[in-house]
Structure 1
Amino acid sequence: MDAVKTALLKAALPHVAFDGWGEASFRAAAADAGLDAEAARTACPRGALDLAVAYHKAGDDAMRAAVAATPFVGARVRERITFAVRSRIEAGDREVVRRGTVLFALPLHAAEGAGLIWGTADAIWEALGDPSDDINWYSKRAILSGVYGSVVLFWLGDDSEGAAATWDFLDRRIEDVMRIEQVKGQLRANPLTKGPVAAVESLLSRVKAPSRTPRDDLPGRWRA
């Protein structure tokens, strides 16, 4: 089924730019890939929506590969994040991404779209080797989701040469995030606020990141 979905996705992209992630593009992709309707629907029960999700996740995979191939010797955290976000955006075709943005803006698919953006933020932090396992795991992904989403929207309307305006916008958003960390550091150092801050951080430290190790004691899973 993965091979069938890959073939469908490749065949769909030329149609998506004109017809969007809809039934017309899905049927045209199936025909171009030489698949009958039943085989195509088996691989993608939700039709073009499944292909749009697969396209987004393929962009995440491309970003992971770009990060893994880059040594980052002496690079600061902000430089690594900037590189990863830019690599993720450049992994997509602008018109295809625009059509996906329209699809996931629909109320019916908004939750899935938000989940994909969160997944991209998670993939970026994971690719960069983020070691956090407490509340910071959630806050980092929440903040980066907002940064990534805003930069993508800016990029879709950017007509500057080489998308230079987008990368300037990205730098400013990362700078805003760094200011948040600076303010947190100042609050920890201030004698008037370091006590309450320490108390809140102690409480939040009890929040743990979700486990990535599959459990075998849940309903529907076989024990070894």
Structure 2
Amino acid sequence: MTEETDARGTAPTAADRLLEAALIHVPFDGWSTATLQAAAQDADISPELAKALFPRGAVDLALAYHRAGDAEMARLFAAEAAEGAHGELRYSEKVARAIRLRLEIADKELVRRGAALFALPQHTADGARAVWGSADAIWTALGDTSDDLNWYSKRATLSGVYSSVVLYWLGDDSLDHQATWDFLDRRIGDVMRFEKVKGRVMSSPLGRLIEKGPLGVLSRVKAPQGASDLPGQAGPSGR
């Protein structure tokens, strides 16, 4: 990789250059207006263009860093899969591997500063969407093809796992973050045990009754289609 190209082999955009320049300032100034201004100066980008690229300033810059991490995780996970590295892994282990990759490529101090920003009341929704985006990126990397209510339930469950692991990781000072990876395994184990119990319940007479009742309505919910920003859609009642 040269200075003229990024990891994808393409020339970095002005937004890419701004984000890259901002990273050295975040540990000192946080995800802030001061960081964006300093990054624009370092990248030789006008304040007007910087404002146009990141209209909400610091929060848009932090979200861009988060999305870049999701994209890099997906790229690395796909590269591992292409090399056959996941061949012996169970599905739950692939989920754990994707989460571990996502954290290993992140800078803890930058994430810590981002967590402080997204803890502010005016940005909590942005933080929640960022976590959901990571869960979606992980399921997509694993090849998830669900297009019904499961699309939502998988991402909601993984969002909870991912959030708890990130918080644990931020406070983890163990060697090579081994305590975090052990915690991750326990959280994934909890989810798998819940899924087994749910499976037994749904295969029982009561579960089949529930499936025909409340869940029959929910089965019409579909995953978002294309570039729509709607949360989903309902299929025809006649199936």
Q: Do they fold alike, i.e. is TM over 0.5?
A: yes
Q: Which residue of 1 aligns with 2:25?
A: 15
Match of 1:74 among 85, 88, 91: 88
Unmatched runs of 5 consecutive residues or more in structure 2: 1-11, 230-239
Larger CA deviation: 111-120 vs 29-38: 29-38
Shift of 1:189: 3.6
Shift of 1:24: 1.2
Does residue 172 (structure 1) correspond to residue 202 (structure 2)? The answer is no
Shift of 1:26: 1.1
CA deviations 1:59-79 (Å, max 9, x no partner) are 000110111112221321101
Does residue 194 (structure 1) correspond to residue 204 (structure 2)? The answer is no
Q: What SS does structure 2 have at the residue aligned with 1:14? A: coil
CA deviations 1:78-116 (Å, max 9, x no partner) are 011001111111121000000000011111111111111
Check whether the contact 1:135–1:205 (CA below 8 A) recurs between aligned residues. Answer: yes
Match of 1:133 among 147, 154, 165: 147
Does residue 43 (structure 1) correspond to residue 56 (structure 2)? The answer is no
Larger CA deviation: 15-24 vs 42-51: 42-51
Q: Which residue of 2 aligns with 1:118?
A: 132
Separation (CA, whole Å) in 1 of partners of 2:119 and 2:109: 15
Q: How does 1:150-169 map to 2 (within 5 A)?
A: 150-169=164-183
Larger CA deviation: 193-202 vs 167-176: 193-202
Does residue 58 (structure 1) correspond to residue 71 (structure 2)? The answer is no
Separation (CA, whole Å) in 1 of partners of 2:58 and 2:40: 11
Larger CA deviation: 10-19 vs 31-40: 31-40
Check whether the contact 1:151–1:166 (CA below 8 A) recurs between aligned residues. Answer: yes
Does residue 89 (structure 1) correspond to residue 99 (structure 2)? The answer is no
Check whether the contact 1:5–1:51 (CA below 8 A) recurs between aligned residues. Answer: no
Check whether the contact 1:187–1:197 (CA below 8 A) recurs between aligned residues. Answer: no
The number of equivalent residue pairs is: 213
Shift of 1:203: 3.3
Q: How does 1:28-39 map to 2 (within 5 A)?
A: 28-39=38-49
TM-score normalised by length of structure 2: 0.84
Separation (CA, whole Å) in 2 of partners of 1:94 and 1:213: 31
Separation (CA, whole Å) in 1 of partners of 2:106 and 2:100: 11
Separation (CA, whole Å) in 2 of partners of 1:3 and 1:186: 51
TM-score normalised by length of structure 1: 0.89
Structure 1 residues 69, 214: CA separation in 2 closer, same or farther (over 3 Å shift)? same
Separation (CA, whole Å) in 2 of partners of 1:207 and 1:9: 37
Check whether the contact 1:155–1:163 (CA below 8 A) recurs between aligned residues. Answer: yes
Shift of 1:213: 5.8
More relative contact order, 1 or 2 (CA 8 Å, 6+ apart): 1
Shift of 1:214: 5.9
Separation (CA, whole Å) in 2 of partners of 1:206 and 1:62: 34
Q: Which residue of 2 aligns with 1:98?
A: 112
Separation (CA, whole Å) in 2 of partners of 1:136 and 1:214: 19
Identity among equivalent pairs (%): 55
Which residue identity does 2:125 align to in structure 1?
A
